[in-house]
Amino acid sequence: MVTNPEILALAALVLTVGAEMIHSRRINAIATLSFGPSALPSSWSRVAPVVRCLAITLIIWGLTTLLTIQPKVHKAKTVDPDEIRHIVIVLDVSPSMKIKDAGGDGARTRRERAFELMESFFKRVRVEQMRLSLIAVYNGAKPVVVDTKDPEVVRNFLDGMDMYTAFEAGKTHLFDGLNLAANISSQWRQNSTTIVLLSDGDTVPSVGIPKMPRSVNGILVIGVGNPTKGTFLNGQNSKQDASTLRQIALRLNGTYHDGNVKHIPSDTISSLVSIDEKSALDQMTRREYALIAIGASTLILSALPFMLNAFGTKWRVGIHKRMEKIK
Protein backbone atom coordinates (compact mmCIF):
# COMPACT_ATOMS: atom_id res chain seq x y z
CA MET A 1 0.00 0.00 0.00
CA VAL A 2 1.35 3.42 -0.99
CA THR A 3 1.47 5.70 2.04
CA ASN A 4 3.62 8.50 0.65
CA PRO A 5 1.40 11.64 0.46
CA GLU A 6 3.45 13.15 -2.37
CA ILE A 7 3.10 10.06 -4.58
CA LEU A 8 -0.65 9.84 -3.93
CA ALA A 9 -1.02 13.56 -4.64
CA LEU A 10 0.89 13.15 -7.93
CA ALA A 11 -1.37 10.24 -8.90
CA ALA A 12 -4.42 12.38 -8.08
CA LEU A 13 -3.02 15.18 -10.26
CA VAL A 14 -2.57 12.84 -13.23
CA LEU A 15 -6.13 11.49 -12.85
CA THR A 16 -7.72 14.93 -12.49
CA VAL A 17 -5.80 16.27 -15.50
CA GLY A 18 -7.10 13.31 -17.54
CA ALA A 19 -10.64 13.89 -16.28
CA GLU A 20 -10.43 17.59 -17.15
CA MET A 21 -9.26 16.79 -20.70
CA ILE A 22 -12.27 14.49 -21.22
CA HIS A 23 -14.56 17.14 -19.72
CA SER A 24 -13.06 19.80 -22.01
CA ARG A 25 -13.77 17.72 -25.14
CA ARG A 26 -17.40 17.27 -24.11
CA ILE A 27 -17.78 20.99 -23.45
CA ASN A 28 -16.28 21.87 -26.84
CA ALA A 29 -18.92 19.69 -28.50
CA ILE A 30 -21.69 21.87 -27.09
CA ALA A 31 -19.75 25.13 -26.82
CA THR A 32 -22.26 27.13 -28.89
CA LEU A 33 -25.13 26.09 -26.62
CA SER A 34 -23.11 26.83 -23.49
CA PHE A 35 -21.33 30.05 -24.45
CA GLY A 36 -23.39 31.53 -27.28
CA PRO A 37 -22.40 32.29 -30.89
CA SER A 38 -18.77 32.94 -30.00
CA ALA A 39 -18.48 29.45 -28.43
CA LEU A 40 -15.97 30.92 -25.97
CA PRO A 41 -16.23 31.25 -22.19
CA SER A 42 -15.01 34.27 -20.26
CA SER A 43 -11.24 34.54 -20.38
CA TRP A 44 -10.78 34.10 -16.59
CA SER A 45 -12.85 30.88 -16.54
CA ARG A 46 -10.26 29.14 -18.68
CA VAL A 47 -8.10 28.76 -15.58
CA ALA A 48 -10.90 26.86 -13.79
CA PRO A 49 -9.61 23.41 -14.87
CA VAL A 50 -6.15 24.23 -13.54
CA VAL A 51 -7.63 25.45 -10.26
CA ARG A 52 -9.73 22.28 -9.91
CA CYS A 53 -6.72 20.05 -10.56
CA LEU A 54 -4.56 21.84 -8.02
CA ALA A 55 -7.31 21.99 -5.38
CA ILE A 56 -8.10 18.25 -5.66
CA THR A 57 -4.38 17.44 -5.56
CA LEU A 58 -3.91 19.52 -2.40
CA ILE A 59 -6.92 17.90 -0.72
CA ILE A 60 -5.53 14.42 -1.45
CA TRP A 61 -2.09 15.46 -0.20
CA GLY A 62 -3.57 17.00 2.95
CA LEU A 63 -5.77 14.01 3.80
CA THR A 64 -3.03 11.44 3.24
CA THR A 65 -0.59 13.57 5.22
CA LEU A 66 -2.98 13.63 8.18
CA LEU A 67 -3.44 9.86 7.91
CA THR A 68 0.26 9.06 7.76
CA ILE A 69 1.93 11.50 10.18
CA GLN A 70 2.56 10.40 13.72
CA PRO A 71 0.17 11.72 16.38
CA LYS A 72 1.38 14.90 18.04
CA VAL A 73 2.94 14.03 21.38
CA HIS A 74 3.80 16.80 23.81
CA LYS A 75 7.17 16.09 25.33
CA ALA A 76 8.82 17.95 28.12
CA LYS A 77 11.36 20.37 26.70
CA THR A 78 14.92 19.67 27.70
CA VAL A 79 17.34 22.54 28.06
CA ASP A 80 21.10 22.30 27.85
CA PRO A 81 22.59 23.39 31.22
CA ASP A 82 24.85 25.81 29.36
CA GLU A 83 21.77 27.54 27.91
CA ILE A 84 20.06 28.17 31.25
CA ARG A 85 19.63 31.83 32.14
CA HIS A 86 19.06 32.96 35.71
CA ILE A 87 16.77 35.96 36.16
CA VAL A 88 16.82 37.59 39.59
CA ILE A 89 13.98 40.07 40.11
CA VAL A 90 14.59 42.60 42.87
CA LEU A 91 11.19 44.12 43.66
CA ASP A 92 10.65 47.23 45.75
CA VAL A 93 7.65 46.46 48.02
CA SER A 94 7.77 49.64 50.12
CA PRO A 95 4.48 51.51 50.82
CA SER A 96 5.29 54.10 48.13
CA MET A 97 4.85 51.35 45.51
CA LYS A 98 1.13 51.33 46.35
CA ILE A 99 0.69 54.95 45.21
CA LYS A 100 -1.62 55.16 42.19
CA ASP A 101 0.20 57.31 39.64
CA ALA A 102 1.59 54.78 37.16
CA GLY A 103 0.71 53.86 33.60
CA GLY A 104 -0.26 56.13 30.73
CA ASP A 105 -3.41 57.31 32.50
CA GLY A 106 -1.95 57.25 36.00
CA ALA A 107 -4.71 54.87 37.10
CA ARG A 108 -2.50 52.00 38.28
CA THR A 109 -0.33 51.62 41.32
CA ARG A 110 3.42 51.47 40.89
CA ARG A 111 3.33 47.85 41.99
CA GLU A 112 0.66 47.00 39.38
CA ARG A 113 2.75 48.68 36.71
CA ALA A 114 5.76 46.60 37.77
CA PHE A 115 3.66 43.46 37.30
CA GLU A 116 2.58 44.59 33.81
CA LEU A 117 6.19 45.19 32.81
CA MET A 118 7.29 41.75 33.96
CA GLU A 119 4.32 40.11 32.23
CA SER A 120 5.44 41.74 28.98
CA PHE A 121 8.99 40.58 29.72
CA PHE A 122 7.94 36.95 30.27
CA LYS A 123 5.94 36.88 27.02
CA ARG A 124 9.01 37.80 24.97
CA VAL A 125 11.63 35.46 26.41
CA ARG A 126 12.18 31.72 26.26
CA VAL A 127 10.74 30.91 29.65
CA GLU A 128 11.79 27.25 29.42
CA GLN A 129 15.41 28.44 29.53
CA MET A 130 14.83 30.61 32.59
CA ARG A 131 15.39 29.98 36.27
CA LEU A 132 13.61 32.72 38.16
CA SER A 133 14.30 34.24 41.56
CA LEU A 134 12.38 36.97 43.38
CA ILE A 135 13.72 39.20 46.15
CA ALA A 136 11.46 41.57 48.09
CA VAL A 137 13.01 44.82 49.32
CA TYR A 138 11.84 47.38 51.86
CA ASN A 139 13.98 48.25 54.87
CA GLY A 140 15.87 45.04 54.19
CA ALA A 141 15.77 42.19 51.71
CA LYS A 142 14.13 38.77 51.81
CA PRO A 143 14.31 35.95 49.24
CA VAL A 144 10.78 35.04 48.16
CA VAL A 145 11.54 32.53 45.40
CA VAL A 146 14.96 31.18 44.46
CA ASP A 147 15.80 29.62 41.08
CA THR A 148 12.39 28.19 40.19
CA LYS A 149 11.49 26.76 36.77
CA ASP A 150 7.85 27.77 37.19
CA PRO A 151 7.09 31.38 36.13
CA GLU A 152 3.58 31.09 37.61
CA VAL A 153 5.05 31.02 41.11
CA VAL A 154 6.76 34.35 40.47
CA ARG A 155 3.67 35.79 38.75
CA ASN A 156 1.54 35.00 41.80
CA PHE A 157 3.85 36.98 44.06
CA LEU A 158 4.20 39.85 41.61
CA ASP A 159 0.46 40.13 41.07
CA GLY A 160 -0.47 42.26 44.04
CA MET A 161 0.57 40.07 46.97
CA ASP A 162 1.41 42.41 49.86
CA MET A 163 4.95 41.63 50.95
CA TYR A 164 5.82 44.86 52.76
CA THR A 165 4.05 43.55 55.89
CA ALA A 166 6.96 41.11 56.31
CA PHE A 167 9.18 44.11 57.10
CA GLU A 168 9.26 46.70 59.82
CA ALA A 169 8.45 50.26 58.79
CA GLY A 170 11.40 52.35 57.67
CA LYS A 171 13.28 53.62 54.64
CA THR A 172 13.86 51.61 51.50
CA HIS A 173 17.22 49.82 51.58
CA LEU A 174 17.33 49.01 47.88
CA PHE A 175 20.99 48.04 47.97
CA ASP A 176 20.20 45.24 50.43
CA GLY A 177 18.21 43.61 47.65
CA LEU A 178 21.07 44.00 45.20
CA ASN A 179 23.49 42.57 47.78
CA LEU A 180 21.25 39.55 48.28
CA ALA A 181 20.92 39.13 44.50
CA ALA A 182 24.72 39.17 44.22
CA ASN A 183 25.08 36.55 46.96
CA ILE A 184 22.45 34.24 45.45
CA SER A 185 23.87 34.49 41.93
CA SER A 186 27.51 34.08 42.94
CA GLN A 187 27.16 30.27 42.81
CA TRP A 188 25.97 30.22 39.20
CA ARG A 189 27.87 29.89 35.94
CA GLN A 190 29.78 32.91 34.62
CA ASN A 191 27.73 35.34 32.49
CA SER A 192 24.52 33.41 33.13
CA THR A 193 22.55 35.87 35.25
CA THR A 194 20.43 38.96 34.62
CA ILE A 195 19.24 41.13 37.50
CA VAL A 196 16.03 43.12 37.03
CA LEU A 197 15.43 45.86 39.59
CA LEU A 198 11.91 47.35 39.82
CA SER A 199 11.53 50.42 42.00
CA ASP A 200 10.31 54.00 42.19
CA GLY A 201 13.71 55.00 43.60
CA ASP A 202 12.01 56.84 46.48
CA THR A 203 14.10 57.31 49.68
CA VAL A 204 16.98 55.24 48.27
CA PRO A 205 20.43 55.99 49.77
CA SER A 206 23.19 57.12 47.42
CA VAL A 207 25.97 54.97 48.90
CA GLY A 208 26.52 51.28 49.54
CA ILE A 209 26.08 49.92 46.02
CA PRO A 210 27.33 46.31 45.91
CA LYS A 211 29.83 44.66 43.59
CA MET A 212 28.36 42.07 41.26
CA PRO A 213 29.85 38.55 40.86
CA ARG A 214 31.14 37.18 37.55
CA SER A 215 27.90 35.29 37.01
CA VAL A 216 26.04 38.58 36.40
CA ASN A 217 26.39 39.96 32.89
CA GLY A 218 23.28 42.11 32.66
CA ILE A 219 21.40 44.51 34.93
CA LEU A 220 18.17 46.26 34.06
CA VAL A 221 16.90 49.02 36.34
CA ILE A 222 13.23 49.83 35.71
CA GLY A 223 11.58 52.91 37.16
CA VAL A 224 7.85 53.03 37.91
CA GLY A 225 5.71 55.91 39.08
CA ASN A 226 5.27 59.44 37.78
CA PRO A 227 8.75 61.01 37.52
CA THR A 228 7.49 64.62 37.45
CA LYS A 229 4.44 64.87 39.70
CA GLY A 230 4.69 63.58 43.26
CA THR A 231 2.19 62.33 45.84
CA PHE A 232 2.55 63.06 49.54
CA LEU A 233 3.17 59.98 51.68
CA ASN A 234 4.23 60.16 55.34
CA GLY A 235 5.07 63.84 54.97
CA GLN A 236 7.23 63.36 51.86
CA ASN A 237 6.56 64.10 48.22
CA SER A 238 6.93 60.66 46.66
CA LYS A 239 7.64 60.28 42.94
CA GLN A 240 9.87 58.19 40.73
CA ASP A 241 13.44 59.30 41.40
CA ALA A 242 14.67 58.72 37.88
CA SER A 243 18.01 60.41 38.60
CA THR A 244 18.87 57.97 41.40
CA LEU A 245 17.80 54.96 39.38
CA ARG A 246 19.90 56.12 36.42
CA GLN A 247 22.90 56.45 38.73
CA ILE A 248 22.38 52.94 40.06
CA ALA A 249 22.23 51.55 36.52
CA LEU A 250 25.30 53.54 35.50
CA ARG A 251 27.39 52.40 38.47
CA LEU A 252 26.42 48.78 37.87
CA ASN A 253 27.15 49.02 34.12
CA GLY A 254 23.48 48.29 33.54
CA THR A 255 20.57 49.85 31.67
CA TYR A 256 17.88 52.18 33.01
CA HIS A 257 14.37 52.18 31.57
CA ASP A 258 11.49 54.46 32.56
CA GLY A 259 8.72 51.89 32.60
CA ASN A 260 6.00 54.17 33.89
CA VAL A 261 4.41 54.45 30.44
CA LYS A 262 6.46 52.40 27.96
CA HIS A 263 7.13 48.67 28.05
CA ILE A 264 10.68 47.37 27.95
CA PRO A 265 12.00 47.59 24.37
CA SER A 266 12.68 44.23 22.70
CA ASP A 267 16.20 45.39 21.85
CA THR A 268 16.90 45.90 25.55
CA ILE A 269 15.55 42.46 26.45
CA SER A 270 17.47 40.74 23.65
CA SER A 271 20.72 42.31 24.88
CA LEU A 272 20.13 40.67 28.27
CA VAL A 273 18.46 37.35 27.50
CA SER A 274 17.39 35.24 24.52
CA ILE A 275 14.13 36.38 22.99
CA ASP A 276 11.73 33.84 21.53
CA GLU A 277 11.76 35.16 17.97
CA LYS A 278 9.99 32.23 16.30
CA SER A 279 7.11 33.44 14.21
CA ALA A 280 3.87 31.53 13.81
CA LEU A 281 5.08 30.45 10.35
CA ASP A 282 8.30 29.02 11.80
CA GLN A 283 6.33 26.96 14.32
CA MET A 284 4.03 25.35 11.73
CA THR A 285 4.39 21.63 11.07
CA ARG A 286 3.22 19.38 8.20
CA ARG A 287 -0.01 18.86 10.12
CA GLU A 288 -0.83 22.60 10.05
CA TYR A 289 0.11 22.88 6.37
CA ALA A 290 -2.13 19.89 5.58
CA LEU A 291 -5.08 21.42 7.40
CA ILE A 292 -4.61 24.73 5.58
CA ALA A 293 -4.37 22.92 2.21
CA ILE A 294 -7.57 20.96 2.87
CA GLY A 295 -9.51 23.97 4.13
CA ALA A 296 -8.45 26.40 1.39
CA SER A 297 -8.91 23.87 -1.43
CA THR A 298 -12.35 22.81 -0.18
CA LEU A 299 -13.43 26.43 -0.04
CA ILE A 300 -12.20 27.04 -3.60
CA LEU A 301 -13.93 23.94 -4.98
CA SER A 302 -17.17 24.94 -3.24
CA ALA A 303 -17.12 28.49 -4.59
CA LEU A 304 -15.97 27.69 -8.14
CA PRO A 305 -19.31 26.35 -9.52
CA PHE A 306 -21.17 29.45 -8.31
CA MET A 307 -18.55 31.75 -9.85
CA LEU A 308 -18.64 29.89 -13.18
CA ASN A 309 -22.44 30.02 -13.24
CA ALA A 310 -22.48 33.75 -12.54
CA PHE A 311 -19.44 34.95 -14.50
CA GLY A 312 -18.34 32.06 -16.73
CA THR A 313 -19.83 33.58 -19.90
CA LYS A 314 -21.35 36.87 -21.02
CA TRP A 315 -23.99 34.98 -23.04
CA ARG A 316 -27.42 34.93 -21.40
CA VAL A 317 -30.14 32.82 -23.07
CA GLY A 318 -33.27 34.86 -23.89
CA ILE A 319 -31.88 38.25 -22.96
CA HIS A 320 -31.46 39.50 -26.53
CA LYS A 321 -35.01 38.54 -27.52
CA ARG A 322 -36.49 40.34 -24.52
CA MET A 323 -34.44 43.45 -25.30
CA GLU A 324 -35.76 43.44 -28.91
CA LYS A 325 -39.38 43.28 -27.69
CA ILE A 326 -38.79 46.23 -25.36
CA LYS A 327 -37.42 48.30 -28.24
- Are both 239 and 140 inside the same structural domain? yes
- Are both 306 and 240 inside the same structural domain? no
Whether residue 49 contacts residue 20, with contact meaning beta carbons closer than 8 Å, is answered with yes
- Summarize pLDDT for 157-199 with one digit per residue, the tens: 888 777 877 888 888 888 999 999 999 999 999 999 999 999 9
- Residue 152, domain member (yes or no): yes
- Are both 154 and 60 inside the same structural domain? no
- Residue 96, domain member (yes or no): yes
Confidence of residue 216 (pLDDT cuts 50, 70, 90): very high
Check pLDDT > 70 for residue 325: no
- Residue 277, domain member (yes or no): no
- Are both 255 and 314 inside the same structural domain? no
- Are both 37 and 92 inside the same structural domain? no
pTM: 0.62
Supply the pLDDT for residue 58: 93
Spatial strand order in the sheet of 193-199: 141-148, 130-137, 85-92, 193-199, 216-223, 255-258
- Are both 119 and 252 inside the same structural domain? yes
Distance of CA 43 to the CA centre of its chain: 44
- Are both 26 and 172 inside the same structural domain? no
Other CB atoms within a 10 A radius of the CB of residue 204 amount to: 21
Range of lowest pLDDT (134-148, 196-210, 287-301): 196-210
HSE-CB for 61 with a 13 A CA cutoff:
20
Q: What angle do CA 258, 256, 209 make, to 5 degrees?
A: 125
Q: How many domains does the chain have?
A: 2
- Are both 254 and 311 inside the same structural domain? no
CA–CA separation, 151 and 290 (whole Å): 34
Q: What domain range includes position 58?
A: 5-72+287-326
- Are both 14 and 64 inside the same structural domain? yes
- Are both 267 and 152 inside the same structural domain? yes
- Are both 121 and 268 inside the same structural domain? yes
